[in-house]
Amino acid sequence: MVSKIELNPAQAVTARFIEAIDSLVGMKGDDGKKLTLGRISEMIGMHASNITRMRISNTHSPTAAALSLLCQVFDISGSWLLEGSGPMKKSDANEIDDLKILVSSLNKNVDQIKVRINDLNKRVDQKTRRKKSVKS
């Protein structure tokens, strides 16, 4: 996670940019080949040496085009990259939304089950009372 201590907004974006690239290195690309810093930098229109400079110095920042391509090519959330809000991967955001919908649906089902159980308990109580009254 990127520390926000004493980073200006441009430095924070650069730090998240590097964090995103670090998370991608070693993963498999769409072609099944391992992603390297060199491959990633090519795919976002940068030289690997520029990314290395960003790691070392707070004076280098990614271009708007590189930020945009990182988001487009690698499913990185623009909100996370620029503002630090939400999950890094857009697919994670979609997954979170899907899970929220699922939880909501399950909660409705649970509520319906509780109502059904209460109804059944009432019927059991009624039948039990009738049986006792018939025996008396």
pLDDT along the chain (136 residues), means of 10: 67 94 93 94 94 85 92 92 89 68 67 84 89 76
Q: Can you tell me the distance from the alpha carbon of 26 to that of 118, in angstroms, rounded to the nearest whole number?
A: 54
Q: How many CA atoms lie within 13 A of 23 on its CB side?
A: 15
The whole model's pTM is what? Answer: 0.65
In the structure, how many helices (H) and strands (E) does the chain have?
6, 0
Q: Can you tell me the distance from the alpha carbon of 12 to that of 17, in angstroms, rounded to the nearest whole number?
A: 8
Q: How many CA atoms lie within 13 A of 33 on its CB side?
A: 7
pLDDT for residue 60: 83
Phi, psi of 55 (to 5 degrees): -65, -40
Q: How many CA atoms lie within 13 A of 60 on its CB side?
A: 15
pLDDT for residue 4: 45
Q: Can you tell me the distance from the alpha carbon of 102 to that of 26, in angstroms, rounded to the nearest whole number?
A: 32
Q: Can you tell me the distance from the alpha carbon of 28 to that of 24, in angstroms, rounded to the nearest whole number?
A: 8
